[in-house]
């Protein structure tokens, strides 16, 4: 018997950067919990592959190509997601992101702006575009993806760390502002084995020092961290807002 606290039946979700890695796992986990999911990614074909997999498993999903730095495109995708649930968009997961590692003295202005545009402006664009569709009955959720880099800083990632720290500030401020509308805003700081973390997992220069920072001494699979997203999207988290939840094997304690 399904626990109603974790049942997302009848709710629509939009997940950005969902063609692979954590985003794909989150989209599939939300669908398994009953949500109708719009899988979006810069790579529209890859997003459709994930959506097709959800449908093949009996879930409800559609897909869309989305450059999160494009505010007009974000508006169109938010409307498409809301159409999955009669004009309401209950869950927004701002997951789209990239890295551009370099030591500070080597980071170009173009590199820095690109990281900030995708992470910070992308989160802003999608959240603002979705807001008009998010219900005010207590089921509305905005879930942003940050990182340990935004909490503690990361060597060689001033750009990424700055962007992820900005997302934390945005999350907390927006949570205060939207509480009056019963819309909950939280952030997750996940750590998983994905294409984005491949270099730090496989390069001898980085792998051992990184593993030394993880008390559980292993990397999670994307599926392993996806459950935390589902939790924050459900009624089980109805009294949680403005929080940052590290899902990182104890890296940030």
> Other CB atoms closer than 10 Å to residue 125's CB: what's the count?
25
Q: Round to whole Å and give the CA distance between 102 and 244.
A: 26
Q: Which long-range contacts (CB under 8 A, 24 or more apart) does 192-198 make?
A: 192/21, 192/22, 192/219, 192/220, 192/221, 192/222, 192/224, 192/225, 193/219, 193/220, 193/221, 193/222, 194/20, 194/21, 194/22, 194/222, 195/20, 195/21, 196/21, 196/97, 196/98, 196/99
**What is the 3-state secondary structure of 146-172?**
CCHHHHHCCCCEHHHHHHHHHHHHHHH
CB atoms within 10 A of CB 100: 16
Respond yes or no: is residue 239 known to be catalytic: no
Q: Cα separation of 251 and 214, whole Å?
A: 5
Of 112, 133, 160, 229, which residue is the catalytic one?
160
Helices (runs of H) and strands (runs of E) counted in the chain = 10, 7
* Residues catalogued as catalytic: 160
């Amino acid at each position: 018997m399904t626990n109603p606290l974790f049942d997302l039946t009848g709710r629509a979700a939009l997940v950005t950067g969902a063609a692979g890695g954590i985003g794909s796992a989150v989209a599939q986990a939300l669908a398994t919990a009953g949500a109708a999911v719009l899988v979006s990614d810069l790579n529209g074909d890859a997003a459709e592959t994930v959506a097709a997999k959800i449908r093949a498993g009996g879930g409800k999903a559609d897909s869309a190509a989305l450059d999160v730095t494009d505010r007009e495109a974000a508006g169109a995708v938010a409307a498409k997601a809301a159409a999955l649930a009669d004009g309401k968009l209950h869950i927004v997961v701002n997951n789209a992101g990239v890295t551009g590692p370099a030591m500070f003295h080597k980071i170009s202005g173009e590199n820095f702006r690109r990281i900030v545009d995708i992470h910070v402006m992308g989160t802003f664009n999608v959240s603002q575009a979705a807001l008009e569709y998010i219900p005010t009955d207590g089921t509305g959720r905005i879930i942003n993806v940050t990182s340990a880099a935004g909490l503690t800083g990361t060597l060689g990632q001033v750009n990424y760390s700055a962007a992820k720290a900005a997302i934390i500030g945005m999350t907390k401020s927006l949570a205060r502002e939207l509480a009056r509308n019963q819309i909950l805003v939280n952030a997750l700081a996940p750590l998983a084995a994905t294409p984005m973390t491949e270099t730090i997992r496989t390069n001898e220069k980085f792998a051992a020092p990184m593993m030394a920072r993880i008390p559980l001494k292993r990397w999670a699979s994307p599926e392993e961290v996806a459950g935390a997203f589902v939790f924050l999207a459900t009624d089980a988290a109805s009294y949680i807002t403005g929080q940052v939840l590290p899902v990182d094997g104890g890296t940030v304690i």
